[in-house]
A and B are shown apart, each in its own frame.
Chain A
């Protein structure tokens, strides 16, 4: 069953609209990487889902319901979102930040949900630590826990590992992988094509607001498609740990 469906959607910032007649379906429980060059519409597509931008034509359905007829709070109870840029200038504790994920819910079982979200992201020990003092990787886990506390089964993430070192990238991506195995539907904007190939089971590749490919990740990444979409040469290497081949951009080096 599909979790999310776009049906003939036109939308975007200003004119001309970035997306025209966009249709796609994301299966429930899948881990979908959203890739494409800068300006291809990855973040805009997420904004259409959480209603920062409204479609001018067409409709977006979440678990069969048209999101246009949902209030912002109703929608927030069905999705969680991790933004690309989230400056934390105000010294909330990690737990207070996670608790903000409960905004759309009536009070009641907040504590249990917050505890569970923090445990899932392995930040229980940071509960009383000010978020302004946490490392980038820890902050990202707090933000992810806040998204989980919303209790939506669809998680949207906009470049969640961009500013993290390799170890923290690995930790976040493995956490997302685990969540998808637990039944969460994940749509994750990724610039790093390596991470997209390693962790996602499906990939949507965008170029100039058009879906160039949407399939199993191993079917989306091809030499020809990477040349067409990114204008790069690529070569395939076998990764003995993964037990399969992956595509790498061919850097010539010095």
Chain B
């Protein structure tokens, strides 16, 4: 099922991308979109809309969804927890806290949201992983440490926002997630993140399967449980942090994409990782397109769409029966 599913998801994503490129208030037709993409003649205005506004946004949302979907599968395996998502180790609260601190100390404009968010989320994740190292990265310790740090950072961020009420709107809007300002340079960074941090994790598919065993069985079968867990969690966390720093916190993709993929291809990671990434990319591109088009003027935060559309679908799939994480 893997190959047909991967082919179907790639074809569906390309088709969706073409639709997303075309739809909008500018009255561009599908034919014009194809011509512009092929470098053939059109008005400068339409060329600008396709190449400068819509295409980077579409690629950014797809790649971000792919990173979140892939990372979700990694987190669920590494933490042996079906409720895990890429934000469980403090990436989102760390990013939000980083932005809040930068704004509070007046560095917001100087360093920019992405740098502040990336710094906050990477430091938070490293602190959580370091605190858990003494327990060799035991899953319960990791998850509870993540939950505790998330609470502390949320409280600290609330306090900072309470003290800087005028900045509250900016942080809130950023944290809800948006691709409206995506640029080619951001697309380049996200693509490099995908190539350098995410795709190499595919080679760890056997170790990820082994992590789903109980720890004693995994260890006795030759898995260095603690170090393998850290080696897959660290790059997935940093990749997620890069996405969050640019486009905010986008919930549910990282949780749902691996679960839906597992329903179709089963839990073996050799078959699971590619569909999780592709399905995550497809869902986020679809959500972002809806966020852009649903309101007659302005945009909805994309995180609202992923949750509003995703949760009912997810509950339906879970209730369809016989679902045991695969």
A residues with a Cβ closer than 8 A to B are 47, 50-52, 72-73, 75-77, 79-83, 85-87, 89-93, 96, 100-101, 103-104, 130, 132, 143, 146, 150, 156
Partner of A50, one of B210, B214, B219, B266: B219
Residue B325 is within 8 A (CB to CB) of chain A in the complex? yes
Q: How far is the CB of A236 from chain B (nearest CB, A)?
A: 36
Complexed CA–CA distance, A80 and B213 (Å):
14
Cα distance, A121 to B221, chains bound together (Å): 18
**Inter-subunit contact B325/A90 (CB<8 Å):** yes
B212 at the interface (CB under 8 A from A): yes
Chain B residue at smallest Cβ distance from A87: B214
The residues of B that contact A85 with a CB separation of less than 8 Å are 214
B222 CB contacts on chain A under 8 angstroms: 72-73, 75-77, 103-104, 150
A/B interface sample: 5 pairs, CB < 8 A: A50-B216, A81-B221, A100-B213, A103-B210, A150-B221
Does the CB pair B217–A83 fall under 8 Å? yes
Report yes or no: B267 in contact with A81, Cβ–Cβ below 8 A: no
Interface size class of B (residues with CB under 8 A): 20 to 34
CB atoms of A50 and B220 under 8 A apart: yes
Query: What separation, in Å, do the CA atoms of A132 and B296 have in the docked complex?
Result: 49
Cα(A72)–Cα(B268), bound, Å? 23
Chain B hits for A143, CB < 8 A: 217
- Closest B residue to A84 using CB positions: B216
Q: Chain B, 315-326, contact with A by CB distance < 8 Å: what is the 0/1 string?
A: 000000000111
B268–A101 CB distance below 8 A:
no
Closest chain-B Cβ to A78's Cβ sits at a distance in Å of 10
Interchain CA distance A93-B223 in the complex, whole Å:
20
- Kindly list chain A residues whose C-beta atoms are within 8 Å of the C-beta of B206: 103
A interface footprint on B62-102 (CB within 8 Å = 1, 0 otherwise): 00000000000000000000100000000000000000000
B198 to chain A, nearest CB (A): 22
Interface: B32 (CB within 8 A):
no
Chain A minimum-CB-distance residue to B323: A91
Closest CB of chain A to B19's CB: distance in Å? 35
Is B186 engaged at the interface, CB distance under 8 Å to the other chain? Answer: no
A-contact 0/1 string along B193-220, CB 8 Å cutoff: 0000000000000110110111111011
Q: Say yes or no: A83 contacts B82, CB within 8 Å.
A: no
How far in angstroms is the closest Cβ of chain B from A224? 35
Q: By the criterion CB–CB under 8 Å, are B212 and A90 in contact? A: yes
Contacts A52-B215, A91-B325, A143-B217 known; list 13 others, CB within 8 Å: A50-B220, A51-B219, A76-B221, A77-B222, A80-B220, A86-B217, A87-B214, A90-B267, A100-B213, A100-B221, A103-B206, A103-B210, A130-B326
Interface-centre pick from B82, B206, B217, B324 (highest chain A CB count, 10 A): B217
Closest 4 CB pairs of A and B: A104-B222, A76-B222, A91-B326, A81-B220
Let me know if B216 and A52 touch, CB within 8 A. yes
Residues on the A chain within 8 Å of B213, using CB: 86, 100
Q: Contact between A91 and B214 (Cβ–Cβ < 8 Å)?
A: no
Contact between chains at A104 and B221 (CB < 8 Å): yes
